[in-house]
Structure 1
Amino acid sequence: MKRRLLFALAVLLAGAAAAIALAWPREEYIASRSPADHAATEANLARGAYLARAGDCMACHTARGGVPYAGGRALDTPFGRLVAPNITPEPTTGIGNWSADDFWRALHNGKSKDGRLLYPAFPYTNYTKVTRPDADALFAYLRSLPPVRQQNAPHALRFPYNQQLTLAGWRLFYFKPGVQQLDASRDARWNRGAYLVEGLGHCAACHSTRNRFGAADSTLGGGLIPTLGWYAPSLTSSGEAGLGKWSEAHIVQLLGSGVAPGASVTGPMAEVVLQSLQYLTPDDLGAMAAYLKSLPAASASPPPAAPPPPAQTMREGEKLYGRHCAACHGEKGEGKGPYPALGGNRALTLAEPVNAIRVVLNGGFAPGTQGNPRPYGMPPFGHVLGDAETATLVTYLRASWGNAAGPVSAPEVNRYRSVPLD
């Protein structure tokens, strides 16, 4: 009996291994048009530098206070910790001995030079859509950086997520390589926006829901960013960010400077604007805005309005608001000068209250950008307000001046009080 069970188990494992093996070689190869595409010419280096900004490569591949692109930044995930590698052209610890084909293979197929499968925290599920000429220009730029000898730190993933076999199985279900295809029914501007949003910009990495296996649904329908404790709102035309009602000019302003009438970015999006989006051309930002506004409305009906909080909670919240907030945001939440109105404020009315909680606890700071060089910020109140007081205040903000979002509890506040800022 025991032998039969062992034999059956061996057959099952062999079948699983065979199925996964079929997924391993599934990759595409697109040859470079010419060695000139990845030569260190002035045009290639300028184009590659721009693309590196568009892809926000430096954000992950640079440790806090470290040398740009030399790796070392830890990325926490629900499956353990990953550490971004050195991508300077140093030959032993970086990509100095990589070819343009090796780089293309990593970007497009999610495989390292030695054939090892890469973890999708490196968003090759989006980068696979990048064209070969753009990949070559990006490679030329990275090869022009000063080489930095900095050993890559090992990942710290839990079993079985630290196994290549597990990753191969994941790819079998959730990854298919393929360059972004042009939509012949749309104009060049729309297609450029789709390419930037879906490819190099990898917006779905944050603005989509992830399943229990860490795969994004790629709908840009919004989602809680794992381990970071921030909610990235839906970018569909009827989504929580409300982009369908925005003008393209205001979307461009928000992406390029971090602020727009009635809105500002904070948290992880502030870093994206600071290090990436502010450097894109107005034409590219406009193309992204046009594409985002075209995304179809969500088919699901909106959630029912939350019942009003108890009168006692509203009275206590009003007192806290008058004491801590009214001087800047106005007695009736109407806003003053650079400080935004709170009535109808999308950051407060999201179904997920986490962003409002984080801003009250840790402060809200738009990035200092070329278009907004002296940003106004909101100080943190986490050292002044306890969990219960913060919950009462946020509940009041979410239910006042026409807002009708659900209440917040003290345990919710406590959960996000302990979440690291980075």
Structure 2
Amino acid sequence: MSRIAKTKAASTTAIRAFVLAAGLVAATILAMPPVAYGASRIKDIADYEGVRDNLLVGYGLVVGLAGTGDDLTNAPFTKESLVAMLERLGVNIREQGGTIATVKPKNVAAVMVTATLPAFSRQGTRLDVSVAAMGDAKSLEGGTLLVTPLVGADGEIYAVAQGGLAGVGFTASGGGAGGGGTTSVRKGIPTTGKIANGAIIERELPFEMAHLESVKLSLRNPDFTTANRTAQAVNAFLGSTVARPTDPSTVQIVVPPDYRGNVVGLLTDIEQLKVEPDQVAKIVIDDATGTIVMGENVRISTVAVAQGQLTVRITETPQVSQPSPFSTTGTTTVVDRTDIEVDEGQGKKLMVVPHGVTLQDLVTGLNALGISPRDLIAILQTIKAAGAIQADIEVM
């Protein structure tokens, strides 16, 4: 075979291989479910079972306060804790017979210390802690937290906290102008504070993920449709039926053979897949602030809406009547002037909302009535009572 024939044969083989690879890629893309415009990553709508934080809490003492600590008469637990701490350090302040000597320091405060232990935290790493006063301390500014064990819900010690407090608020006050009162200024909360990297982890939570045979996804907003779409996206990506929804909030995934011993790699690939979460038709109302949030699936049946109320406004405008200049008769008097206005809501109109309008149409139509958010709350509740709104209304 000539060199030219060999070159043509090699080129033909390369073209066929390229076309075959392109066909396989296209088939894979077509097999995957379409991604909607409003899709979210799985890592943003679900958590992995076993991958969670744990809460820690502890009781300790803050010292070094500038006379703003607990009053030991009103906070006996602070006094007992102070005595116990001094005894552990070899300082005995008890008198004969075991009676505690009179101690009245004003620079000590009993506090509760809280922290969050992240998943897979290792021994020796540090945590941020929050500190809050328990007694009648005025401020924790400038205080230092002494060694405080932090325990979990099982009563075991998982971390130890200590350090100087930061981020403590302050208060300042003084006499008002003319001695007619006091003026005070407060920034933040003076009885709380934080210690950055103030705790050291002493115990790890045992959890081995690498050799799991199956993992579970827990949806943050349980929904049958979202769970099914998540399973479909995972199956399409892996090319086999390994994921199935077990309930509205859980999707169970069997680890494929290619990912055995590499569950972290599996979860890394899965959490980047995009799924369009489904939403229920719901209207959430905060009556205290007049806030209304409506989902896009809210629909309204044909209904007529009118809003108006009788308003009576009375305005008092007193006027001063004086006699003419240099007049020897007449006195200066105050004459009442009363203005009464009655608004029967005649400017309000009756609006017909057609069947199956969208959220945008509903908002546009109700805004045409010129009503306030609080009036809108009453209208939505009335429409719901009439059975003309296909959505749940939740009042906070």
User: TM-score, normalising length from structure 1?
Assistant: 0.19
Which structure: greater strand fraction? 2
Which structure: greater helix fraction? 1
User: TM-score, normalising length from structure 2?
Assistant: 0.20
Larger Rg: 2
